[in-house]
């Protein structure tokens, strides 16, 4: 069996120390060792975005990142995002705009939406679309997801 | 102006509102526990070894080294489960293959181990020796003389008493299923025609690509009863099938359906991985969890039915359709699943979308060494509509008639009964045609685009139209097409809605809650929906055929009305009224006429509960739609209602590169009535984009039986920047049988897109392409006349 490496990092604001095998992905570590089930496996190859997390405030596909490379980093998952005020705004927008169907893509899309709007709080619809290029959704046809992210960027009082 | 009492009464109606999905807040915070996220204490992880040959005899399987891997609890092959029984629509498919593999997905061995890693290591150590057999991966060739036979021998398994019994008869011509339907006399129709067109179309392989990969958890209790965590869309049918497979009483099988990462029809059949996980659980006496990788998902889940289709159609001088004749060869793949039954839907489109006096339809589903096809949203209708709508344009153009006028002339009306026996109680087809045409400015744009064919600009615009007819009130394929509901009201007027109808992301949970609230005058957040455990929920045939809102909805309404009736009957005498004077609104028992509040419903329920008589309000209802089974000639009114739609596609074709961009879809859907506006919009938009993928980018490349692109890099799903503008109109025909007038819509939006895009490409360029998808390479070649159009095989008669 392969050797374990001890790493330490912040996960959603809390310090964590774990021992992980060298070849383990950050996705496997989060899901299988740390109970972060909101981060999803969709392809394991960096092609679907379901596993998107934020590492030092940049989104990455956690399936492509080695767990050991999380050492010393600041990691945020959907569970962390959902607990922030912006996460709550985004959650409400996704719900009210009907952006969630099966919901399997949703955590990854929310992580990526946060990135897009952090990089550019005034992102245009086209910029949001491009920002989400790496996140696949099979259910919604994306339109309501885009509506939701636009609304979260520019909150307006009523939806209906 | 003050609202009238009637307006007041309906001010709190939820029908047609935008009601967010009840399960969305959890999903959008990462809390929802999908099958993938469930871990049962003591569980083992399973992995499956698949064939490396497309068609071969298994000479030997050596599992000794695999069994010695630390952490491995069991390695099984067919030899370890001599009692296994076949699965599939025709029972031609053994979960673990004993002697012959017929496709690259075939399951040869399986491992259960403490970790996924140990299971994978064990798989690598299994040695299989094959003796290759001749392969056939072209369905037309498989029909030809001398083709290798895939199921040329009887399939025998030990029966209950130990003696061998034949479960699938030898197939001497590779035809797994055949269908023939007709009405009128096609040769007479031919004689009455002034224009006749005939073409061959090829509808390609695509696959569901549910974002959540397939999986199952199987666990036996000490008495031998089986608990399955499964993403099935048909839990009650599968309960029976699994029972048969294991030789146990169906009552001893319980299926729990955790939230699902997409279904789209992919989970209507049992696939080998499910029995295999069950075998491992039985043998190891441990819970066994089996999850696919994405690559496995591409290789070992079903495809949409690929079809080679020959269509011949004609019309008379006035533009009336005279006849339609269809012959198809369905590539069945190595085993038979629901794909082979798509003709049930295809022939409806052929016979009844437009009025056709003379019609003939034939399908042969043919065994090959390819992946096998299952059911997929639209169920054959994308394929049939693609051909039919190409001919609607071609016939109109040949007559010099406006393409919209031509369609309107042949379109069905409400009240019509078709020669195939379908009865259209409600039918908004002509409104769909008119609305979509008007909102897209179809006629003018179609004319204008023609003027640019030869203007030297390499970028062309095109507009194209297609329409569809699909079951919208269930489909009576099983002895019952019903759904059961149990409703209980607690002391605080909270409702538990227990329904057989499964939520697969489509929003059934929310729409059913909405329908119940509408009856009981309670807010949507007063409802808890229980819909995922066969030990609790009443029977339902399953999520398919766009039936859940219609059937599950009528069932929920039935149970809610009984609860309402009970409340009003007890409340009326106390209020000195008759039950008909009263109503439930805004959480209160009210006077129907004025809305005046008499008592809070919760208070009423408590006083009923804690009175001398001590009663609770709990009701049950089973709804069976008034539809019939098809007869031996495939005739009959198989659905309680039918849905209609017209979709207009606008494209830009870069003739220098062959790149087709979908700019806009204008859609008009006869949905009966909008129940949850947010939900129905989501279904339609998602369906449109799924149709876009089918038309333009998705292509499961199957070469000599091997899938060449089992990943999202090479299998191109539509991404966020590529979606078209979408203009969706709802035609509300208020179906008399539908729940609050609604009809099913789940499959409808995906059906027309490819057909409309094909017509739009023709309108842009003057080139018609008969094979999907319209990838840049194919379009580029077609524009230069160097495409090989699909051909009907000479020896396939
Ligand atoms: S699972 Fe990481 S990108 Fe798909
Ligand atoms: S909601 Fe199902 S994949 Fe996006």
Give the pLDDT confidence of B744-771 residue by residue, as tens digits. Answer: 999 999 999 999 999 999 999 999 999 9
DSSP B354: B
CA-atom Rg of chain B in angstroms: 28
Q: What is the pLDDT of residue B722?
A: 98
**Rounded to the nearest 10 degrees, what angle do helices B381-399 and B343-352 cross at?**
20
For residues B328 and B309, the answer to whether their CB atoms sit within 8 Å is: yes
| CATH 3.90.1170.50 at B35-135+209-300, yes or no | yes
Torsion of CA B23, B26, B28, B32, to 10 degrees: -100
Kindly give the distance from the C-alpha atom of residue A134 to the centroid of ligand 2, in angstroms, as a whole number: 14
Q: Decide: A103 in ligand 2 pocket, CB within 6 A.
A: yes
CATH number corresponding to A4-77:
3.10.20.30
Domain boundaries, chain A: 4-77, 81-153
Residues near B177 by Cβ (< 8 Å), separated by ≥ 6? B90, B332, B336, B340, B341, B363, B364, B365
B193: phi then psi, degrees, rounded to nearest 5 = -95, 145
Q: Decide: A102 in ligand 2 pocket, CB within 6 A.
A: yes
Relative to the alpha carbon of A137, which ligand is closest?
A: 2
pLDDT tens column, A9-30: 999 999 999 999 999 999 999 9
For the ranges B215-219, B476-480, B791-795, the lowest mean pLDDT is seen at B791-795
Q: Which chain A residue lies closest to B718 (C-alpha atoms)? A: A136
Q: Is B405 left (phi over 0), alpha (psi -120 to 50) or beta?
A: alpha
B56: phi then psi, degrees, rounded to nearest 5 = -165, 160
- Terminal-residue alpha carbon distance, chain B: 73
For residues B701 and B707, the answer to whether their CB atoms sit within 8 Å is: yes
Q: Please list the helix, strand and coil fractions of chain B in percent, rounded to the nearest 5, in that order.
A: 30, 25, 40
Q: Which CATH number fits domain A81-153: 3.40.50.450, 3.10.110.10, 1.10.150.120, 1.10.3720.10?
A: 1.10.150.120
- Residue B6's pLDDT band, with cuts at 50, 70 and 90, is very low
pLDDT tens column, B71-116: 999 999 999 999 999 999 999 999 999 999 999 999 999 999 999 9
Q: What is the pLDDT of residue B11?
A: 57
CATH 3.90.1170.50 segments of chain B: 35-135+209-300
Q: How far apart are CA B143 and CA B66, in angstroms?
A: 41
Q: What is the pLDDT of residue A156?
A: 64
Query: Is residue B797 scored above 70 in pLDDT?
Result: no
**Cα distance from A71 to chain B (closest Cα, Å)?**
23
Query: Is residue B225 scored above 80 in pLDDT?
Result: yes
Which of B293, B504, B723 comes nearest A141 by C-beta?
Answer: B723
For residues B329 and B143, the answer to whether their CB atoms sit within 8 Å is: yes
For residues B462 and B650, the answer to whether their CB atoms sit within 8 Å is: yes
For residues B765 and B484, the answer to whether their CB atoms sit within 8 Å is: no
Q: Is A141 left (phi over 0), alpha (psi -120 to 50) or beta?
A: left
Kindly give the distance from the C-alpha atom of residue A100 to the centroid of ligand 2, in angstroms, as a whole number: 7
**Cα distance from A3 to chain B (closest Cα, Å)?**
14
Kindly give the distance from the C-alpha atom of residue B456 to the centroid of ligand 1, in angstroms, as a whole number: 44
Residues of chain B positioned with their CB less than 8 A from the CB of A129 = 720-721, 723
Q: Which atom of ligand 1 is nearest to the CA of A134?
A: 3
DSSP B335: S
Q: Residue B773, preceding bond cis, omega within 30 degrees?
A: yes
Kindly give the distance from the C-alpha atom of residue A60 to the centroid of ligand 1, in angstroms, as a whole number: 9
Q: Decide: A67 in ligand 1 pocket, CB within 6 A.
A: no
Q: Please list the helix, strand and coil fractions of chain A in percent, rounded to the nearest 5, in that order.
A: 40, 20, 40
Residues B28, A145: C-beta atoms closer than 8 Å = no
Pairing of strands B215-220, B226-230: antiparallel
Which of B20, B32, B210 comes nearest A138 by C-beta?
Answer: B210
Q: What is the pLDDT of residue B7?
A: 46
Q: Which chain A residue lies closest to B719 (C-alpha atoms)? A: A133
pLDDT tens column, B13-33: 999 999 999 999 999 999 999
**Cα distance from A8 to chain B (closest Cα, Å)?**
23
Q: Which chain B residue lies closest to A52 (C-alpha atoms)? A: B30
For the ranges B57-66, B444-453, B629-638, B786-795, the lowest mean pLDDT is seen at B786-795
Vertex B531, ends B529 and B537: CA angle to 5°?
115
Residues A139, B31: C-beta atoms closer than 8 Å = no
Residues of chain B positioned with their CB less than 8 A from the CB of A96 = 18, 20
For residues B127 and B62, the answer to whether their CB atoms sit within 8 Å is: yes
Q: How far apart are CA B36 and CA B683, in angstroms?
A: 24
Give, in order, the Cα–Cα distances in Å from A5 to each of A30, A65, B114, B337.
15, 15, 21, 47
Vertex B744, ends B665 and B557: CA angle to 5°?
140
**Cα distance from A145 to chain B (closest Cα, Å)?**
9
Strand partners, B200: B310
Query: For atom 2 of ligand 2, which residue has the closest CA?
Result: A102
Pairing of strands A14-21, B107-113: unpaired
B664: phi then psi, degrees, rounded to nearest 5 = -155, 140
CA atoms in the 13 A half-sphere facing the CB of B85: 20
B158: phi then psi, degrees, rounded to nearest 5 = -65, 130
Q: Which of B21, B34, B264, B505 to mutate to test the pocket of ligand 2 (most atoms within 8 A of CB)?
A: B505
**Rounded to the nearest 10 degrees, what angle do helices B553-575 and B601-609 cross at?**
80
Pairing of strands B253-256, B226-230: parallel
Share of chain B above pLDDT 90, in %: 95
Catalytic annotation, pick one of B431, B737, B747, B777: B747
Q: How far apart are CA B299 and CA B746, in angstroms?
A: 26
Residues near B680 by Cβ (< 8 Å), separated by ≥ 6? B671, B674, B730, B745
- Residue B613's pLDDT band, with cuts at 50, 70 and 90, is confident
Kindly give the distance from the C-alpha atom of residue B686 to the centroid of ligand 2, in angstroms, as a whole number: 9
Residues B686, A141: C-beta atoms closer than 8 Å = yes
Q: Which of A48, A107, A109 to mutate to test the pocket of ligand 1 (most atoms within 8 A of CB)?
A: A48
Q: Which CATH number fits domain B307-475+631-796: 1.10.10.10, 3.30.10.20, 3.40.50.11780, 3.30.365.10?
A: 3.30.365.10
B679 is written with which tokens? 């939900």
Residues B726, A143: C-beta atoms closer than 8 Å = yes
Question: Is B165 one of the annotated active-site residues of the chain?
Answer: no
Q: What is the pLDDT of residue B9?
A: 45
pLDDT tens column, B336-350: 999 999 999 999 999
Residues B29, A91: C-beta atoms closer than 8 Å = yes
Q: Decide: A105 in ligand 1 pocket, CB within 6 A.
A: no
Would you mind telling me the total number of residues written for chain B in this entry?
A: 797
Q: Decide: A43 in ligand 1 pocket, CB within 6 A.
A: yes
The secondary structure of B272-295 as a DSSP string is: THHHHHHHHHHHHTS-EEEE--HH
Please report the beta strands in B492-576, taking only residues with DSSP state E, as ranges in sequence order. Answer: 495-499, 527-530
Cα–Cα nearest to B559, from B626, B612, B484, B491:
B484
Q: What is the pLDDT of residue B2?
A: 53
Q: Decide: A34 in ligand 1 pocket, CB within 6 A.
A: no
Q: What is the pLDDT of residue B661?
A: 98
Q: Decide: A42 in ligand 1 pocket, CB within 6 A.
A: yes
For residues A100 and A94, the answer to whether their CB atoms sit within 8 Å is: yes
Kindly give the distance from the C-alpha atom of residue B669 to the centroid of ligand 2, in angstroms, as a whole number: 23
- For chain B, what is the mean pLDDT? 96
CA atoms in the 13 A half-sphere facing the CB of B634: 23
Give, in order, the Cα–Cα distances in Å from B439 to each of B234, B445, B597, B727, B757.
39, 11, 45, 8, 17
Q: Decide: A132 in ligand 2 pocket, CB within 6 A.
A: no
Query: Is residue B505 scored above 70 in pLDDT?
Result: yes
Residues A48, B37: C-beta atoms closer than 8 Å = no
Q: How far apart are CA B52 and CA B106, in angstroms?
A: 9
Q: Which residues of B720-740 are buried (b: 16+ CB within 10 A; e: fewer)?
A: bebbbebebbbbbbebebbbb
Query: Is residue B164 scored above 50 in pLDDT?
Result: yes
The residues of chain A scoring below 50 in pLDDT are 158-160
Q: Decide: A38 in ligand 1 pocket, CB within 6 A.
A: no
For residue B49, give the 3-state DSSP assignment: strand
Q: Which chain B residue lies closest to A144 (C-alpha atoms)? A: B682
Residues A141, B726: C-beta atoms closer than 8 Å = yes
Q: Which chain A residue lies closest to B711 (C-alpha atoms)? A: A43
Whether the CA torsion B668, B669, B672, B675 is positive or negative: it is negative
Residues of chain A positioned with their CB less than 8 A from the CB of B209 = 136, 138
Please report the beta strands in A22-145, taking only residues with DSSP state E, as ranges in sequence order. Answer: 52-55, 58-61, 74-76
**Cα distance from A107 to chain B (closest Cα, Å)?**
6
- Residue B161's pLDDT band, with cuts at 50, 70 and 90, is confident
Query: Is residue B306 scored above 50 in pLDDT?
Result: yes
Q: Which chain A residue lies closest to B214 (C-alpha atoms)? A: A42
CATH 3.30.365.10 segments of chain B: 5-32+482-623, 307-475+631-796
Strand partners, B670: B644, B731
B766 is written with which tokens? 């003057």
Query: For atom 4 of ligand 2, which residue has the closest CA?
Result: A137
Q: Decide: B211 in ligand 2 pocket, CB within 6 A.
A: yes
* CB contacts < 8 A (A, B): 179
B415 is written with which tokens? 């009240």
Q: How far apart are CA B469 and CA B21, in angstroms?
A: 28
CB atoms within 10 A of CB B625: 23
Cα–Cα nearest to B660, from B571, B763, B534:
B763
Residues B689, A101: C-beta atoms closer than 8 Å = no
Alpha carbon B539 to chain centroid distance?
20
Residue with tokens 């045939």, as numbered in its chain: B541
CATH architecture designation of domain B5-32+482-623: 2-Layer Sandwich (3.30)
B783: phi then psi, degrees, rounded to nearest 5 = -65, -25
């Amino acid at each position: 069996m392969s050797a374990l490496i001890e790493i330490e990092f912040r996960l959603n604001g809390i310090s964590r120390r774990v021992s992980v095998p060298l070849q383990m992905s950050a996705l496997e570590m989060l899901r299988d060792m740390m109970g972060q089930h909101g981060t999803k496996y969709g392809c394991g190859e960096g092609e679907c975005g379901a596993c998107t997390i934020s590492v030092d405030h940049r989104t990455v596909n956690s399936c492509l990142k080695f767990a050991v490379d999380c050492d010393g980093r600041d990691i945020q998952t959907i569970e962390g995002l959902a607990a922030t005020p912006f996460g709550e705004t985004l959650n409400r927008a996704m719900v009210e705009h009907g952006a969630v169907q099966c919901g399997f893509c949703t955590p990854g899309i929310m992580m990526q939406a946060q990135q897009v709007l952090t990089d550019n709080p005034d992102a245009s619809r086209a910029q949001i679309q491009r920002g989400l290029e790496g996140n696949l959704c099979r259910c919604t046809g994306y339109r309501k997801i885009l509506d939701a992210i636009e609304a979260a960027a520019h909150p307006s009082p009523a939806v209906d | 102006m003050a609202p009238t009492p009637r307006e007041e009464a309906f001010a709190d109606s939820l029908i047609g509102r935008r009601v967010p999905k009840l399960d969305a807040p959890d999903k959008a915070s990462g809390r929802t526990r999908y099958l993938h996220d469930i871990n049962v204490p003591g569980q083992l992880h399973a992995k499956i070894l698949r064939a490396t040959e497309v068609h071969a005899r298994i000479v030997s399987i050596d599992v000794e080294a695999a069994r010695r891997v630390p952490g491995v609890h069991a390695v099984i092959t067919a030899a370890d489960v001599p009692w296994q029984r076949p699965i599939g629509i025709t029972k031609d498919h053994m979960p673990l293959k004993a002697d012959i593999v017929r496709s690259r997905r075939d399951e040869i061995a399986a491992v259960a181990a403490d970790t996924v890693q140990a299971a994978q290591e064990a798989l690598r150590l299994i040695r299989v020796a094959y003796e290759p057999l001749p392969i056939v991966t072209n369905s037309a060739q498989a029909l030809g003389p001398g083709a290798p036979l895939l199921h040329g021998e009887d399939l025998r398994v030990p029966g209950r008493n130990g003696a061998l019994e034949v479960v699938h008869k030898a197939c001497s011509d590779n035809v797994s299923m055949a269908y023939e339907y007709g009405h009128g006399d096609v040769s007479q129709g031919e004689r009455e025609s002034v224009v006749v067109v005939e073409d061959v179309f090829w509808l390609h392989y695509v696959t569901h690509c549910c974002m959540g990969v397939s999986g199952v958890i199987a666990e036996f209790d000490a008495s031998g009863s089986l608990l399955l965590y499964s993403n099935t869309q048909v839990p009650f049918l599968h309960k029976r099938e699994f029972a048969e497979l294991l030789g146990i009483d169906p009552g001893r099988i319980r299926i729990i359906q955790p939230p699902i990462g997409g279904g789209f029809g992919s989970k209507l059949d049992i696939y080998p991985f499910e029995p295999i996980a069950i075998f491992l659980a039985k043998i190891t006496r441990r819970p066994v969890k089996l999850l696919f990788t994405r690559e496995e998902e591409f290789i070992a889940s079903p495809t949409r039915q690929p079809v080679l289709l020959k269509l011949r159609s004609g019309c008379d001088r006035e533009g009336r359709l005279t006849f339609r004749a269809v012959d198809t060869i369905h590539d069945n793949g190595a085993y038979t699943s629901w794909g082979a039954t798509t003709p049930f839907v295809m022939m409806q489109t052929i016979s009844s979308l437009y009025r056709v006096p003379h019609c003939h339809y034939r399908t042969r589903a043919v065994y090959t060494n390819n992946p096998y096809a299952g059911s997929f949203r639209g169920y054959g209708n994308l394929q049939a509509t693609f051909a039919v709508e190409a001919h609607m344009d071609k016939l109109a153009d040949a007559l010099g008639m406006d393409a919209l006028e031509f369609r309107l002339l042949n379109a069905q009306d409400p009240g019509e009964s078709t020669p195939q026996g379908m009865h259209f109680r409600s039918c908004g087809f002509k409104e769909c045609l008119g609305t979509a045409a008007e909102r897209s400015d179809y006629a003018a744009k179609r004319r204008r685009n023609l003027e640019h064919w030869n203007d030297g600009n390499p970028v062309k615009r095109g507009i194209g139209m297609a329409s569809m007819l699909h079951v919208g009130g269930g489909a009576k394929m099983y002895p019952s097409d019903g759904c059961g509901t149990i409703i209980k009201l607690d002391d605080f007027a909270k409702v538990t809605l227990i329904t057989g109808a499964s939520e697969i992301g489509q929003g059934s949970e929310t729409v059913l809650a909405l329908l119940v609230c509408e009856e009981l005058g309670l807010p949507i957040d007063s409802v808890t929906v229980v819909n995922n455990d066969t030990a609790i929920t009443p029977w339902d045939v399953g999520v398919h055929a766009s039936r859940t809102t219609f059937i599950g909805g009528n069932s929920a309404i039935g149970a809610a009305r009984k609860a309402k009736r009970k409340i009003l009957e007890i409340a009326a005498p106390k209020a000195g009224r008759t039950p008909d004077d009263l109503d439930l609104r805004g959480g209160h028992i009210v006077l129907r006429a004025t809305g005046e509040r008499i008592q809070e419903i919760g208070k009423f329920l408590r006083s009923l509960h804690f009175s001398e008589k001590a009663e609770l309000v709990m009701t049950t209802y089973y709804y069976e739609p008034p539809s019939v089974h098809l007869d031996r000639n495939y005739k009959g009114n198989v659905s309680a209602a039918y849905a209609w739609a017209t979709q207009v596609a606008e494209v830009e074709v870069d003739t220098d590169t062959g790149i087709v961009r979908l700019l806009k879809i204008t859609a008009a859907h006869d949905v009966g009535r909008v129940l949850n506006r947010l939900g129905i919009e989501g279904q339609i938009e998602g369906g449109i984009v799924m149709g876009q993928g089918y038309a333009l980018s998705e292509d499961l490349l199957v070469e000599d039986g091997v899938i060449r692109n089992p990943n999202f890099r090479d299998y191109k799903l539509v991404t966020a920047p590529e979606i078209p503008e979408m203009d969706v109109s709802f035609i509300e025909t208020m179906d008399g049988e539908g729940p609050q007038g609604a009809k099913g819509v789940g499959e409808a939006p995906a059906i027309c897109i490819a057909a409309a895009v094909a017509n739009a490409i023709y309108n842009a360029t003057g080139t018609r392409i008969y094979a999907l998808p319209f990838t840049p390479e194919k379009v580029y070649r077609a524009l230069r006349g160097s495409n090989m159009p699909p051909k009907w095989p000479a020896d396939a008669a």
